[in-house]
């Protein structure tokens, strides 16, 4: 197994994200690794035909993107000690696909992420980002159960 130097931590700014980040920090400290904290804004391209917004979708996405960048800054400031080597960013697109592509393009050694724990109909309707990432990631994926 190769050394773990870069850890990707997808977040959604929920209380669970704080718990998952705590686990990722533990491993970053153990391996002297750098954390990359990422939020993926789900693209609205697939929904263009479903509704007529009061503003163009591109403008709406741009405002959401800027808002997400502000939330990321606050999330990192409130939940991560400044002495932990890290970077953070906001991406836009299909969540699982963006995470897998980012990991592959940036030589990520480990992904530490959580699951929302959807079951039954919810899982069928919403799918599982964690499941998709586990199946397609170019590196090991550690799933943290934030409910335990």
Give the start-to-end residue ranges of the domains of the chain.
Answer: 6-144
What pLDDT score does 145 carry?
Answer: 82
- Please count the residues of the chain: 148
- Residue, of 122 and 130, whose pLDDT is higher: 130
- Minimum mean pLDDT range among 30-39, 61-70, 109-118: 109-118
- Asked if pLDDT for residue 125 goes beyond 50, the answer is no
- Asked if pLDDT for residue 78 goes beyond 90, the answer is yes
- Asked if pLDDT for residue 80 goes beyond 70, the answer is yes
What pLDDT score does 30 carry?
Answer: 94
- Minimum mean pLDDT range among 22-36, 87-101, 103-117: 103-117
Convert the pLDDT of each residue in 11-42 to its tens digit.
989 888 999 999 999 999 999 999 999 999 88
What pLDDT score does 128 carry?
Answer: 80
> Residue 74: which of 10, 18, 22 has the closest Cα?
18
CA distance 94 to 4: 26
In CATH, the architecture of 6-144 is 3-Layer(aba) Sandwich (3.40)
Q: What is the mean pLDDT of the chain?
A: 84
What pLDDT score does 1 carry?
Answer: 59
Residue 52, CB-side half-sphere exposure with 13 Å CA sphere: 0
- Residue, of 62 and 6, whose pLDDT is higher: 6
Strand partners, 39: 90
Angle at 35 between CA 131 and CA 98, to 5 degrees: 40
Structural Rg of the chain based on CA atoms: 16
């Amino acid at each position: 197994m190769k050394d773990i130097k870069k850890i990707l931590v997808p977040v959604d700014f929920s209380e669970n994200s704080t718990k998952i980040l705590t686990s990722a920090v533990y491993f970053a400290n153990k391996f002297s690794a750098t954390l990359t904290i990422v939020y993926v804004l789900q693209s609205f391209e697939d929904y263009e035909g479903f509704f007529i917004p009061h503003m163009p979708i591109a403008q709406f996405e741009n405002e959401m993107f800027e808002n997400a960048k502000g939330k990321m800054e606050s999330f990192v400031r409130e939940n991560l000690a400044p002495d932990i080597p890290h970077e953070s960013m906001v991406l836009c697109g299909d969540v699982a696909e963006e995470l897998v592509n980012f990991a592959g393009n940036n030589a990520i050694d480990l992904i530490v992420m959580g699951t929302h724990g959807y079951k039954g109909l919810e899982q069928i309707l919403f799918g599982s980002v964690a499941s998709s990432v586990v199946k397609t990631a170019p590196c090991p994926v550690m799933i943290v159960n934030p409910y335990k």
